[in-house]
Structure formats: structure tokens, C-alpha cells
Structure 1
Amino acid sequence: MAKRSTRFAATGLALGAALSLLGTAGAAEAAPSGTSGYAATVQAHSNLRDAPRTNSRIWGTTTKVTEAGVACYTRGQRVTAGGYTTDVWYFGTVIDYDIGHIYSNVWMWGGNVNVGADPAPGIPGC
């Protein structure tokens, strides 16, 4: 009986370890900071565009505050919204978990990206 309990305990530990590894591997693959240099968030209802100007194509619109991986920034169209004005646009990847979509290689207006300053320290120019 002792051998049987030990065998079941070992099997349970191995299964638990395997499930733990699978759970962390899935989370690591979804992290935008793994694909871009700087982790940030983007405000809800932000348009994600194919160029750093408001008349460029919209690839998507965030449904809530969303994770982003920012690769670089550029100076584009100057935009004023919500009392904030900037011509800084960030380029990178946005993951919208609500709709299950990853937007790669998109431009985000600096006023919608929560990085603290435009341009944010440490983010290189494109």
C-alpha cells in the first residue's frame, strides 16, 4: 500500500509541474514586451493606425485599456485631444484580450499611450 501511495503522489507532482509549465509558457508568449522593447498600455477607444497621422487607415480600436509593446517612436501629425497635444506617435504591437486580437506593426498616437512623457525616455526613434 505504501508503494501505491508513493507512486500516485509522484504522478500527481509530475502532472502539477507539467500544468504549471504550460500555464507560464502561454502567458509568456502573449506578453507584448517579448516582441517589442518597451511595455506600456494604450487607453480605451484608441485607434491603431498604419501611419502616424489621423487620416491613415485604422487597423482596429481598443475596447479597454490594453497592453502594448512599443518598439520606437516618430514625430508625425500633431493632434490635440482631451486637453493634450503631441506629435509623437509610437510604433509596436497591441494585444486586445477582450476581442482576442493582436495588432502588429501599428501606430498609436502618443496621447493614448501611457508612458509618462512624449517621447518616453528609453524608447528609440524609428
Structure 2
Amino acid sequence: MENQATNHAPAFIQHILFVETALCIIRRDIGSPIIIKQLARQAGTNECTLKRMFKQIMNISIYQYVLQLRMHKANQLLTNTQYKIKDIAIECGYESFAGFVTTFRRYHGFTPGEARRPTGL
């Protein structure tokens, strides 16, 4: 039984490395379109394995992780800079301004414009 666990350890470590590599690439390229097939190739594995291992290790899908990262970045830029909202959309990887606004509102429960307005004053 111990031998079986030992035999699987190197594969699991390799899977962790695939996911770690993918995380670095996603963070680095968050403003660009993320194509999972290309991401998997860059991470040194195939699309199916990366999706499965990412979900298993991160407890979130690649798509959900990218969305979370983009929405956090967008909210930070909206509240801490005076960049135009359309420029923030591009910076966060959205080609469509309308798509960005819709996604932001669904994710946060308020629009990007509302994120800029002072509260409680």
C-alpha cells in the first residue's frame, strides 16, 4: 500500500507544478485573452489534465479563477485610480466594454461607475 502512494507522489507533484506554472502565466497575462489550450501547452501538459488538476488543487475552475482575478483587479483600479472605465476594461482583458460592465455588475452587484462614487457622504 505504501509503495502505491509513493508511485503516485511524483505524478501529483508534477500536476502541482503544472498548476503553479499556469497560475504564474494567468497572473502575468491577465490583461490578455486566456486560452486554456495554449495555457496548458505553456504549462507543459494538456488541456484536460490542466483543467482537472487546477480544479482539484485550487477548488475553483480556471475560468472562475481568471474571472475572480480580473474582477478584483478592476475593482482595485476603479477605487484607487482615475483611469477611464473603458481603459480599465482593456487592462483587465475585456475587448468589449459592454461585456466588462455586465460581468462586473453580475460579479460585484454594482456597476463600475457605482464603484467610483463615494459612499456615505
TM-score surpassing 0.5? no
Structure with bigger strand share is: 1
User: Bigger relative contact order, structure 1 or 2, given CA contacts below 8 A and separation 6+?
Assistant: 1
TM-score (norm 2): 0.33
